[in-house]
């Protein structure tokens, strides 16, 4: 049982590493300065990360805790529900 949990956790880490690469590539290709993402499973956060910058002048990093004003967002995604 413990071995199965470790294997599942390792697969999740690998999938999230792939997701990191996809997001970084998307940001670079589309010249998007920053993005924050959180993925939930049931009532737990299983992945939460910021990419890029929230302020290009001071290069303040985007984090999962960054508050983004609606007026400043060119494209606003309030939520996206995915089942995995």
Q: What is the pLDDT of residue 56?
A: 83
- Beta-bridge partners for 72: none
Cα radius of gyration (the chain):
15
Q: What is the pLDDT of residue 25?
A: 92
pTM of the full structure: 0.70
C-alpha span between 36 and 62 (Å, rounded): 6
Sign, CA dihedral 44-68-71-19, equals negative
Task: Give the pLDDT of the chain (84 residues) as one tens digit per residue.
Answer: 778 889 988 998 999 999 999 999 998 998 888 888 888 888 888 899 999 988 888 888 988 888 776 665 555 554 444 444
C-alpha span between 26 and 81 (Å, rounded): 20
Q: What is the pLDDT of residue 20?
A: 93
């Amino acid at each position: 049982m413990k071995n199965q949990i470790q294997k599942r956790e390792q697969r999740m880490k690998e999938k999230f590493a792939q997701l990191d690469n996809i997001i970084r590539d998307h940001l670079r290709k589309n010249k998007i300065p920053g993005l924050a993402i959180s993925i939930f499973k049931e009532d737990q956060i299983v992945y939460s990360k910021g990419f890029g910058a929230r302020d290009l002048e001071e290069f303040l990093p985007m984090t999962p805790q960054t508050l983004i004003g609606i007026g400043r967002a060119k494209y606003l995604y309030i939520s996206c529900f995915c089942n995995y």
